[in-house]
Amino acid sequence: MTSRILQPATLPELQPTYELHARTAGAARFPFTATTRAAAEAWQEACRAALAETVGFLDDPAVPAAAQLIEEVDRGDFVRRKVVIRTAEHALMPVYLLLPKAAEGPRPVALAYAGHGYGVKDIVGLWEDGAERLTPDGYHKDFALELCRRGFVVAAPEIACFGERQTDYGYLDAPLGQPQPSTCHNAATYAFMLGKSVVGMRVRDGMRLLDYLATLPEADTGRTVAMGISGGGMLTFFHTMLDTRIRACAISGYYSSFRDSILAMHHCTCNFVPGLLNLGEMADLVGLILPRPLLVEAGTRDPIFPIATVRASVERAREICAVLGGDGQRDVELDEFEGRHQISGRRAYDFLWQAQAAR
C-alpha cells in the first residue's frame, strides 16, 4: 500500500514558517504607535538602545584607527586614496577615500556602502583585479564616484565579508570534501552563536570609520550622509538608525519589510539578526531615522524587494515623519523607477546634497 502524502499547500500547519508567522503577531516590543512628538522621541530613545543591544558589537571599546596609506591615485577630477583602518582589537578595514580636487575647505561626507558582488571596488571605478574602469558597469553604477562628483568627500569601506574582507578557508581539506562556505554565511552564523550579528559588526565598523573621518582636514563630518544598495542598503538603514551623526540617507534596493522580503524568499544570511522581530518591523524601526531626510530607491521589477511593499512602507514612513515634526512628503522621498535591482541615481545624489546643506 502506498502511503498517503500530505501536502503543505493544503495543510498550512505542516509548514514551520506558518507557525513562525503566527508567533510574530504581537511579538514586537517597539511598534511605532506614538501620536505626539514627545512620545515619539521617547520611543526613539528606548528603541535605539534596544536595537543597539540586539545587533551586537556596538559596545566594543573604541580603538585608534591607526590608518595606513596603501596608495593614492590621481583620477583627473578627484583623488582616490586607499587606506586601512583598525575598527576593533582584531579587525582591519580597507577604505577608499574619494577627494574632489576642485573643492576648497572641508567638504560634506558621504558614506558609500556596496552590495553583494566583488566588493567596494565595484563602486569606485575599479574592476575585480584592481584595474581602472572608466565606464560604469553592473548594478552599482559607480555610485560612489557620482557622489564625489557632486562635491562630497566619499568614504567607501570594504564591508565585512565582502571583497578583500573574505575568510581564507585554506585550512579546509578540499580533497576530503570539506565544503567551503561563503564568508557571509559563515560569519553570520558564527556571530549568531555569540548572540550577535554581522549587521552589528558592520555598523560598528561604520561608526569607527566616521570617527576616523572626523580627524581628516578635508572632511566636514557635521554634514555626513549615507547611501547604499542591497546589502549596502541594509547597512545604510541600520547605521543611520543607530548613529545620529548621519544627517540623511538614500537606501536603494532594500527598504520594504522583513515579512514580505527578507523572510519570504532566499536572502544572504548576513541580512539576519537574532531577535530583531521582537523589536519591530522595518516600517516601525524606520522611525529611528526620521525626521532626518530619507530617500528610497526601488525598481518596479526588483524580484527580491516587492514594489507594493516598498510603497506601503514608504507611506508609513511619511506618517511617522509627520509625528516626529518633519514633513512626510518633503523629507521622505520614493524614487520608483522601471527596472530591476540596481542603483537609479535619478534623485539620490541631488537629494543628499540638498539634505547636507540644510541647517
- Domain coverage including residue 218: 37-165+190-357
Q: Look at residue 306 in the predicted model and tell me its pLDDT.
A: 96
Q: Look at residue 1 in the predicted model and tell me its pLDDT.
A: 87
User: Could you tell me if residue 22 is inside a domain?
Assistant: no
Contact residues for 193 (Cβ-Cβ < 8 A; gap 6+): none
User: Could you tell me if residue 23 is inside a domain?
Assistant: no
- The mean pLDDT value for 27-36 works out to 96
Share of the chain above pLDDT 90, in %: 97
The 10s digit of each residue's pLDDT in 13-25 is: 999 999 999 999 8
Give the chain's domain count.
1
Q: Enter the pTM of the model.
A: 0.96
d(CA 323, CA 37): 6
User: Could you tell me if residue 53 is inside a domain?
Assistant: yes
- The mean pLDDT value for 287-298 works out to 98
User: Could you tell me if residue 13 is inside a domain?
Assistant: no
In contact, 271 and 277? CB cutoff 8 Å: no
CATH number of the CATH domain containing 340: 3.40.50.1820
In contact, 271 and 202? CB cutoff 8 Å: no
- The mean pLDDT value for 240-252 works out to 98
- For residue 357, pLDDT beyond 90: no
User: Could you tell me if residue 3 is inside a domain?
Assistant: no
User: Could you tell me the three cell numbers for 239?
Assistant: 547605521
The H or E element containing residue 247 is strand 246-252
The 10s digit of each residue's pLDDT in 255-279 is: 999 999 999 999 999 999 999 999 9
- For residue 41, pLDDT beyond 90: yes
In contact, 267 and 261? CB cutoff 8 Å: yes
Q: Look at residue 166 in the predicted model and tell me its pLDDT.
A: 96
d(CA 293, CA 353): 11
The 10s digit of each residue's pLDDT in 57-77 is: 999 999 999 999 999 999 999
Q: Look at residue 359 in the predicted model and tell me its pLDDT.
A: 59
Higher pLDDT, 121 or 102: 121
User: Could you tell me if residue 175 is inside a domain?
Assistant: no
- For residue 103, pLDDT beyond 80: no
- The mean pLDDT value for 239-253 works out to 98
d(CA 328, CA 45): 21
Q: Look at residue 39 in the predicted model and tell me its pLDDT.
A: 98
At position 197, the amino acid (one-letter code) is S
Share of the chain above pLDDT 70, in %: 100
Q: Look at residue 105 in the predicted model and tell me its pLDDT.
A: 82
User: Could you tell me if residue 131 is inside a domain?
Assistant: yes
d(CA 109, CA 319): 29
User: Could you tell me if residue 2 is inside a domain?
Assistant: no
